């Protein structure tokens, strides 16, 4: 079968790989139908993810059909359409029992797919702990509508839940890329008064406004972000800030636009260390929450998609077939042609 393989820093190859096989009773083999490229794949390609193992098939955001299940899989059967969770997790360890599945202590636990074990930019993939990591897609939900359940929507849903958003709050989301847009969608579930999108790309801000994911857009290239957010909040600052950009100075923006006692939620993945200037923020009494998604809410997300309350299809700006995935990588990595996300058809 064909697959995209990480060969080491700077190198990806589209090559032939053997079909995956069941290795553990809790495994399932999934025939991938629709897959996509994530910014994390680009981070891996650039060598910025130390735990990524060369020789691994990339891809951690995809949907497919169950092809085969191990003897220990109870909830899924061949033929089921499923969304696959970015994280595989045992469900039994200290962290899993508390919902912190990103830190599952099993060797195959946490973000393993497409990083440490073969992922879903392939025709077939082995998913460990299938009962925990798969989500059934209802007939009424298309592959495209379900595609972002396991990673981007999980990230947005998790970030919004960490941010302790209350009705009538002002939520600022830094970054109007895929993760930022999904974060805005999920923040809206809490009924905030307004969502402010901050990004340096006008096309992305326009997309956020056009799809009503944000009420106001601020572009730091044209505006003073801090002054603008203060103006929009009677001089207080945002009640909750979600930093989903991971840019050179976006962490500084995040705490600067937060009001005193706000929650600043850092869900971005940085390629460089950041500075926490405690003297400058003394007395602001901020609450920082950081990290990588605990993708343990896929069932709830799928319910919200089926009910029409979460719809991330507007992120799909580009479509292609699996044979063209390396061209898609080039467009995505270099942010050409106003790309937000690709939907890449692997099989019908």
196 and 171 in contact (C-beta within 8 Å)? Answer: yes
| Residue among 151 and 228 whose Cβ is closer to Zn ion | 151
Measured at the CA of 282, the angle between CA 277 and CA 283, to 5 degrees, comes to: 155
In the complex, minimum distance from the CB of residue 70 to Zn ion, in angstroms, rounded to a whole number? 18
Q: Binding to Zn ion by residue 121, rule CB under 5 A? A: no
- DSSP string covering 64-89: EEEEEE-TT--S--TT-EEEE-SSB-
| Residue among 44 and 145 whose Cβ is closer to Zn ion | 44
Q: Binding to Zn ion by residue 108, rule CB under 5 A? A: no
Longest dimension (CA), the chain: 60
Q: Binding to Zn ion by residue 96, rule CB under 5 A? A: yes
In the complex, minimum distance from the CB of residue 39 to Zn ion, in angstroms, rounded to a whole number? 7
188 and 182 in contact (C-beta within 8 Å)? Answer: no
Say how far apart CA 189 and CA 195 lie, in whole Å.
11
Q: 207: which residues sit within 8 A by CB, 6+ positions away?
A: 176, 181, 213, 314, 340
Question: Residues 104, 134, 195, 257: which binds Zn ion (CB under 5 A)?
Answer: 104
| Residue among 43 and 324 whose Cβ is closer to Zn ion | 43
Q: Binding to Zn ion by residue 151, rule CB under 5 A? A: yes
| Residue among 90 and 195 whose Cβ is closer to Zn ion | 90
Q: 31: which residues sit within 8 A by CB, 6+ positions away?
A: 64, 65, 66, 67, 123, 124, 347
Question: Residues 22, 53, 65, 93: which binds Zn ion (CB under 5 A)?
Answer: 93
Question: Residues 40, 56, 135, 183: which binds Zn ion (CB under 5 A)?
Answer: 40
Q: Binding to Zn ion by residue 49, rule CB under 5 A? A: no
Residues near Zn ion (CB under 5 A), total: 9
The window from 131-139, 146-154, 199-207, 312-320 that contacts Zn ion (CB under 5 A) reads 146-154
Q: 156: which residues sit within 8 A by CB, 6+ positions away?
A: 179, 181, 182, 183, 184, 185, 186, 187
The window from 89-97, 176-184, 213-221, 284-292 that contacts Zn ion (CB under 5 A) reads 89-97
- Dihedral of alpha carbons 173, 60, 311, 208, sign: positive
The window from 99-107, 253-261, 282-290, 327-335 that contacts Zn ion (CB under 5 A) reads 99-107
| Residue among 58 and 217 whose Cβ is closer to Zn ion | 58
Question: Residues 12, 58, 66, 90: which binds Zn ion (CB under 5 A)?
Answer: 90
130 and 89 in contact (C-beta within 8 Å)? Answer: no
Say how far apart CA 130 and CA 105 lie, in whole Å.
17
In the complex, minimum distance from the CB of residue 84 to Zn ion, in angstroms, rounded to a whole number? 12
Binding-site ranges for Zn ion (CB under 5 A): 38, 40, 89-90, 93, 96, 104, 109, 151
């Amino acid at each position: 079968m064909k697959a995209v393989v990480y060969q080491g820093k700077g190198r990806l190859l589209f090559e032939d790989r053997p079909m995956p096989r069941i290795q553990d009773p809790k495994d399932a083999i999934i025939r991938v139908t629709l897959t996509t490229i994530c910014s994390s794949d680009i981070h891996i390609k650039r060598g910025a993810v130390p735990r990524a193992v060369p020789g691994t098939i990339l891809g951690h955001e995809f949907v497919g059909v169950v092809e085969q299940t191990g003897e220990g899989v109870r909830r899924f059967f061949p033929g089921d359409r499923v969304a696959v969770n970015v994280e595989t997790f045992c469900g039994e360890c200290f962290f899993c029992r508390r919902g912190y599945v990103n830190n599952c202590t099993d060797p195959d636990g946490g973000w393993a797919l497409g990083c440490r074990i073969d992922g879903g930019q392939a025709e077939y993939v082995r998913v460990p702990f299938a009962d925990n990591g798969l989500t059934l897609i209802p007939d009424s939900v298309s592959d495209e509508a379900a595609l972002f359940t396991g990673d981007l929507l999980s990230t947005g849903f998790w970030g919004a839940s960490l941010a302790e958003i209350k009705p009538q709050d002002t939520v600022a989301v830094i970054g109007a890329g895929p993760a930022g847009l999904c974060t805005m969608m999920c923040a809206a579930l809490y009924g905030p008064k307004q969502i402010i999108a901050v990004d340096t790309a006008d096309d992305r801000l326009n997309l956020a406004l056009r799809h009503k994911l944000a009420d106001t857009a601020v572009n730091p290239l044209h505006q003073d972000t801090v002054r603008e957010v203060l103006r929009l909040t009677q001089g207080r600052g945002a009640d909750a800030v979600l930093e989903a950009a991971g840019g050179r100075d976006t962490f500084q923006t995040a705490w600067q636009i937060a009001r005193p006692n706000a929650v600043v939620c850092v869900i971005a993945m940085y390629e460089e260390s950041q500075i926490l200037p405690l003297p400058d923020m003394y007395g602001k009494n901020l609450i920082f929450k950081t990290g990588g998604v605990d993708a343990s809410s896929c069932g709830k997300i799928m319910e919200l998609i089926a009910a029409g309350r979460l719809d991330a299809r507007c992120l799909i700006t580009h479509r292609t077939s699996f044979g063209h995935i390396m061209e898609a990588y080039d467009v995505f990595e270099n942010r050409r042609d106003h790309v937000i996300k690709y939907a890449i058809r692997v099989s019908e």
